[in-house]
A = this chain, B = another copy of it.
Amino acid sequence: MHNTMTGSSKTYPGPRPLIASRYAELAATGAGLPAEIVTNQNIIDECNLIASDRAVQHSIGIKERRRGAYDEKVSRYLCEAAEMCLARANLDAEKIDRIIYTKLIGEHLIPATALRVLERLGVKRGIPVTDISAACSGFMHALELGISCINAGDDYVLVLGGDRSAVSGRAAVVKDTRTIFLNGDGFAAALLAVSTTQKFLSCYFYTDSSISHFATIPFGSRMLNSGGPFDKDMLNLNMPDGQNIHKSVLDSCRIIADRLLAAARITLKDIDFFITSDQTTLVWKDQLQILGFSPEQSVSCFHKYGNTVAAMTPLNLHEAIITGKLKRGMLVMMMAHGAGASGGGFIFRY
């Protein structure tokens, strides 16, 4: 049982050991970031908003975000992240056994967007690929599935995440002004490889349907045949209650940390580095405070990339690695908190 600030009615499952006959490790990461930088003032001007850059920075912490080119495809940026990741791992793309891509909408409904990445990478082997559909916690879910696939025989699994979510003044749908500054376009890759020693000490995932109304995108297959109006607004992210979203991230952080530590039989003091989803700068800082980490033990890219949905956590991971803050051998707690009330993460030795 647990107590949450949001009053969830659910029982969160207990920790369980990760059974493995073959161990996985995080071999490398990569980032795919569109070149265009969009400031708060750019959005204010493009969308004719009554707002100030200073007030936006003060309230949520964002200064700028990236935005993909007008008609560019998701797979281009995913491929850039994948190529950087493979280069950093010094691995030939032909060696990959599987791609798992976690999308919001993806490049198209059919075929899988991951197949387009495979095509752009020029891979000749027709390896299996899967798109999974999840919000901010999606990359963690994909990593967990990837670890299970390594366990079942794959040698290399490429995990990808991120989608187009930056707002454009040319957009068919101009979003709710309460959320218009939040999102950016960002794409991330991580390569899982087989390891001779145990690197992932524990993993934990949960779902909480009792608070799933906190963030929704209503578009669904029912609309296809309903005959009703096909309202573009159905593609907007609805977050009716920002305060409760904030609280639910902190609940999620505490619950995941407790379960991860219990399953790994260690304490917070054993953790060297903390990676999490930073839906705002404030919610990143509050997570550090709850767990007792210093800002030097973590990274947040929210100020420069915004909420990049599934890419948030892996972009922070990548930033920690390329800036040298996260070093090989460190013990890492990594997690993500997702709209739709799902969350999860890992404790792993980098």
Identify the A interface with B (CB < 8 A): 10-13, 16-22, 67-68, 70-74, 97, 103-113, 115-116, 118-119, 124-135, 141, 144-145, 147-149, 151-153, 163-168, 170-173, 205-209, 212, 215-230, 232, 235, 237, 339-342, 344
Across the interface, which residues of B come within 8 angstroms of A171, CB to CB? 224-227
Given contacts A19-B22, A21-B20, A152-B148, contact A111 B135 (CB under 8 A): yes
A153:B17 contact, CB within 8 angstroms: yes
A129 to chain B, nearest CB (A): 5
Give the copy number.
2
Closest 7 CB pairs of A and B: A111-B340, A170-B227, A128-B205, A105-B221, A109-B217, A148-B148, A21-B21
- A126's partner among B128, B133, B206, B220 (CB-CB below 8 A) is B206
Distance of A68 Cα from B225 Cα, bound (Å): 9
B104:A221 contact, CB within 8 angstroms: yes
A222:B111 contact, CB within 8 angstroms: no
Given contacts A72-B222, A152-B147, contact A134 B124 (CB under 8 A): no
A105:B151 contact, CB within 8 angstroms: no
A193 to chain B, nearest CB (A): 15
Give me 14 other A-B pairs in contact (C-beta within 8 A), A105-B221, A145-B148 excluded.
A20-B152, A72-B222, A107-B222, A108-B220, A112-B133, A112-B134, A115-B342, A130-B145, A133-B133, A145-B149, A147-B152, A148-B151, A168-B225, A171-B224
10 pairs across A/B with beta carbons < 8 Å?
A10-B126, A19-B22, A106-B133, A110-B217, A111-B340, A130-B132, A130-B141, A166-B225, A168-B227, A224-B235
Across the interface, which residues of B come within 8 angstroms of A124, CB to CB? 10-11
In the complex formed, the residue of B with least CB distance to A111 is B340
A209:B126 contact, CB within 8 angstroms: yes
Distance of A73 Cα from B344 Cα, bound (Å): 27
Q: Could you say which of A20, A97, A127, A221 has the most chain B C-beta atoms within 10 Å of its C-beta?
A: A221
Across the interface, which residues of B come within 8 angstroms of A68, CB to CB? 222, 225
A194 to chain B, nearest CB (A): 10
Across the interface, which residues of B come within 8 angstroms of A167, CB to CB? 225
- A342's partner among B70, B107, B129, B207 (CB-CB below 8 A) is B129
A225:B170 contact, CB within 8 angstroms: yes
A74 to chain B, nearest CB (A): 6
Distance of A235 Cα from B220 Cα, bound (Å): 11
A299 to chain B, nearest CB (A): 25
B341:A153 contact, CB within 8 angstroms: no
Given contacts A107-B222, A220-B74, contact A209 B152 (CB under 8 A): no
Given contacts A11-B126, A111-B340, A224-B172, contact A116 B209 (CB under 8 A): yes
A221:B163 contact, CB within 8 angstroms: yes
B126:A207 contact, CB within 8 angstroms: yes
Across the interface, which residues of B come within 8 angstroms of A13, CB to CB? 97, 125-127
A340:B112 contact, CB within 8 angstroms: yes
Given contacts A21-B19, A103-B133, contact A342 B112 (CB under 8 A): yes
In the complex formed, the residue of B with least CB distance to A114 is B207
A178 to chain B, nearest CB (A): 17
In the complex formed, the residue of B with least CB distance to A340 is B111
